Amino acid sequence: MYLYSLFIPNLAETCALGCRLTQQHSDRSIRRHRTHTLRSMATHGDAAAPHALLLPYPAQGHVIPFMELAHRLLDRGFAVTFVNTDFNHRRVVEAAAGAPPAAGGGRRLRLVGVPDGMGDGQDRDNLVRLNATMQEAMPPRLEALLDGGEGGEGLGRATCVVVDAGMSWALDAAKRRGLPTAALWAASAAVLAVIVGAKSLIRDGVIDDDGAPVKIGSGSSFRLAESMPPMDATFLAWNYMAGSRDAARMVFHYLTTTAWAAVAKADVLLCNTFPDLEPGILTPDSPAASVLPIGPLRTCRPTTGGEAAPLVGHFWRADGEACLSFLDAQPQGSVVYVAFGSLAVMSPAQLRELALALALGASGRPFLWVLRPGLAGKLPAELTDMVAQAQHGRLVEWAPQERVLAHPAVGCFLTHCGWNSTLEGIRNGVPLLCWPYFTDQFSNQTYICDIWRVGMRMTAAPVGSRGVVSKEEIVERLESLLGDGGVKERVGKLRELAERSVSGEGQSLKNLNVFMELMRK
């Protein structure tokens, strides 16, 4: 399905997929229009074609929205070099190998892997370490890719660069070449505002110099700007990492440094959100004032007969047939979809209660449960078997999530509140039952339950901090959510606003056009 590059010695590092896998926004959103000292053009193939190099942070929740952005660029005639770490590059290629080719009709998408500086078998979920090794290992390869010096599949030099706002150190190489640059923030604008505004939180005594909350309990609540809702310093993205206070301190310094650099250096700072979703954040007095919302970026789109499905960028092979055939057989709005993203884990005791709630729950509601390999390792085999054999349920290791959420049979989504999952639930009008695990998921839960009121909490306390949530409680929360007409109505309205923002005269679509034009300069 894919062709390894013939141009570089390490064949595992570069591949091209089949078919040549191959504001009305305000001016403050785009702060610099510079003369490009090196006006790069494709040196092979179509010399006039713009060529974007995309660099997502090496996590599933970043690679997927970046791949969506890649498709939007391909739609507009850009060639795209999509740079993953070697480790994730292999996963994306392997997960896609059984799928139809990603692109056709002259679209030119090149998938590339570069070393992340970690050795074989090292724990890549150790983000603190990964952040450090990547900055050492990646720049030389990135520079070579920017110069078209690594085969390039005929795409030539990159003419513009989009990096993850979580890796804004990578902007320097593009800037030295005078290329137009963008940074994409793959979480909510609210979380970005808090990180960019951290200095004022330190000044106001909400957090200390290392990001730790100064006050505990009810005193830890703060409001960053008039337009923003109260937030709890205990649950800021870095303060609820699974791990030590030391890790939280390092993540705080990394996040603030990278976010400030993205704001200062990128020509445009994109965010996967939409104005109607975060109107209180996307305001002139917010620390996130310079953000250009272009979301919700969707991770799949309907294809017409015979047309190949676009590459999503999954790390695991999605079992689409198992999911969709099951959903097709269920009544409308009946199915509980359960998925906790790519990183969250649960204790064996909690997984057991969840399994019992789903498989033996009094209501016998149909369920589709993603038991990701890392999550499933801890569920005893007899329970996995019991769940897998439940007549009214289906267990998969990985689902084509947005296709699942778009299916009319899905009635609610039990989620860890990752930002992509949150957006995907909303854009498909699916009520959310929130069970956050770490990082920004608590902030997202606050918005889901208290601001937009399109979901409910599984518990008032974070997973693991109050002991196991019993199967009876889980069933009770599911039934409450499914029986709440108000939630259903509100999420339906947000769904319409989401759709409007990315179609016709929608603001996110306009912003996307502005971004594309800037990248062509």
Q: How far apart are CB 421 and ligand UDP at their closest, in Å?
A: 3
Q: How far apart are CB 89 and ligand UDP at their closest, in Å?
A: 17
Q: How far apart are CB 65 and ligand UDP at their closest, in Å?
A: 7
Q: How far apart are CB 430 and ligand UDP at their closest, in Å?
A: 12
The set of residues, in sequence order, having a beta carbon less than 8 Å from that of 513 and lying 6+ positions away, is none
Q: How far apart are CB 418 and ligand UDP at their closest, in Å?
A: 2
Q: How far apart are CB 97 and ligand UDP at their closest, in Å?
A: 16
Q: Where are the alpha helices (DSSP H) in 343-400?
A: 348-360, 373-376, 381-389
| CA distances to 215, 241, 250, 311, 467 from 244, in Å | 18, 8, 10, 37, 20
Map tokens 């990159």 to a residue.
Answer: 158
Question: Which amino acid is located at 176 in the chain?
Answer: R
Rounded Cα gap, residues 461 and 332, in angstroms: 32
Comparing CB distances to ligand UDP, the nearer of 207 and 300 is 300
Comparing CB distances to ligand UDP, the nearer of 89 and 416 is 416
Comparing CB distances to ligand UDP, the nearer of 42 and 491 is 491
Comparing CB distances to ligand UDP, the nearer of 269 and 339 is 339
Structure-block tokens of residue 317: 């092979």
Rounded Cα gap, residues 68 and 135, in angstroms: 25
Comparing CB distances to ligand UDP, the nearer of 27 and 123 is 123
Q: Give me the sign of the Cα torsion angle 32, 265, 56, 149.
A: positive
- The residue ranges that bind ligand UDP (CB under 6 A) are 59-61, 64, 299, 314, 339, 341-344, 370, 398-399, 401-402, 418-421, 424
Map tokens 């704001």 to a residue.
Answer: 263
Rounded Cα gap, residues 503 and 492, in angstroms: 17
Q: How far apart are CB 154 and ligand UDP at their closest, in Å?
A: 31
Comparing CB distances to ligand UDP, the nearer of 222 and 438 is 438
Q: How far apart are CB 169 and ligand UDP at their closest, in Å?
A: 21
Comparing CB distances to ligand UDP, the nearer of 291 and 399 is 399
Rounded Cα gap, residues 416 and 399, in angstroms: 15
Q: How far is CA 455 from the centre of its chain?
A: 20
Structure-block tokens of residue 306: 């015979």
Rounded Cα gap, residues 79 and 72, in angstroms: 11
**Running DSSP on this structure, what letter comes out for residue 27?**
G
Comparing CB distances to ligand UDP, the nearer of 375 and 519 is 375
